[in-house]
Amino acid sequence: MYNEYYPNETHRTGRIEVICGSMFSGKTEELLRRLRRAKIARQTVEIFKPAIDIRYSQDEVVSHDKNTILSTPVEHSSNILLLSSEVEVVGVDEAQFFDNGLVEVCQQLADQGVRVIIAGLDMDFKRNSFGPIPALCAIADDITKVHAICVECGNLASYSHRLVKNDKQILLGETEEYQPLCRKCFLKK
């Protein structure tokens, strides 16, 4: 098995890779890129997403750039274990929407020799940690923090500013509901 990040690893070894950042930072795009490369390498790949995320499609992971890959929507993280037998690479999008059991699921898969690639928001719109992402970062073999561009000043953006009045932590949305901001512009809002 060839691993683009660790080319000296030639035997199958499990690992956990986390891609995190704000809205519009390219998390899903990076997840799709890695999964496509695994498919090119003829590895068996399975992609999961939370069943509640139906913004673009019920059964596809879709980036903001409209790139897609077929996925399996699941209600609970334990379903990922049940549906991942005989798989070499597991992708999980929008991981912040999963229950905290996702941490143990990813650990078990990696312990079984599976490469697990997770993408998700690390913070909510209030800059609080979001779902299982912090715990996944703690057990990850590799963490990639991606950044959007601040729509106010053009600097790197780390925060997802909510544009609509709603205090619920989970509010599915797009450019009508959220915008990426840097620290300085976020504090001004």
34 SS3 class:
helix
In terms of DSSP bridges, do strands 68-70 and 142-146 run parallel, antiparallel, or are they unpaired? unpaired
Query: Nearest-5° angle of CA 44, CA 45, CA 48?
Result: 155
How far apart, in whole angstroms, are the C-alpha atoms of residue 186 and residue 189?
A: 5
Sequence-ordered strand ranges (E) for 138-188: 142-146, 148-149, 156-157, 159-162, 178-181
Estimate the share of the chain in helix, then strand, then coil, as percent rounded to the nearest 5: 25, 30, 50
Catalytic residue among 94, 104, 152, 176: 94
For residue 94, indicate whether it is catalytic: yes
Number of CB atoms found within 10 A of residue 77's CB: 21
The b-or-e profile of 139-164 (16+ CB within 10 A means b, else e) is: ebeeebebbbebebeeeebbbbbbee
State the catalytic residues: 94
